[in-house]
Structure 1
């Protein structure tokens, strides 16, 4: 990716889009920021401990929760 302006631009656009989605979720549910932090911390710890499957399941649940907030 280094030196490839097109890939870098695509990654930056994706990062911006993810940020916008996160902000929309947090605006709809102000208490979500603490829960989100705890989710991220749990996922990080699971990965550190080598529990890849459990981390993946936790990440899916985290993303699904955000999706439900955006849809409703």
Structure 2
């Protein structure tokens, strides 16, 4: 299923695949199952949308850089 049909993002599907694959890999090591079915499945590739990239404005960058120059103290 693609993202629109099941309602989950590719990142969520990939995370679930990683977790499930890890569990099943352990089951193979413990000889509970013969093979890991997750090895026969390719999770969706993650694509980055340029609109999702967050960045500082010029003013925010200047404030951030000034903050880096300040001495760090704890009380």
TM class, shorter-length: 0.3 to 0.5
**TM-score, with normalisation over the residues of structure 1?**
0.33
**TM-score, with normalisation over the residues of structure 2?**
0.32
**Structure with greater proportional helix content:** 1
| Structure index of larger Rg | 2
Higher relative contact order (CA 8 A, sep 6+): 1
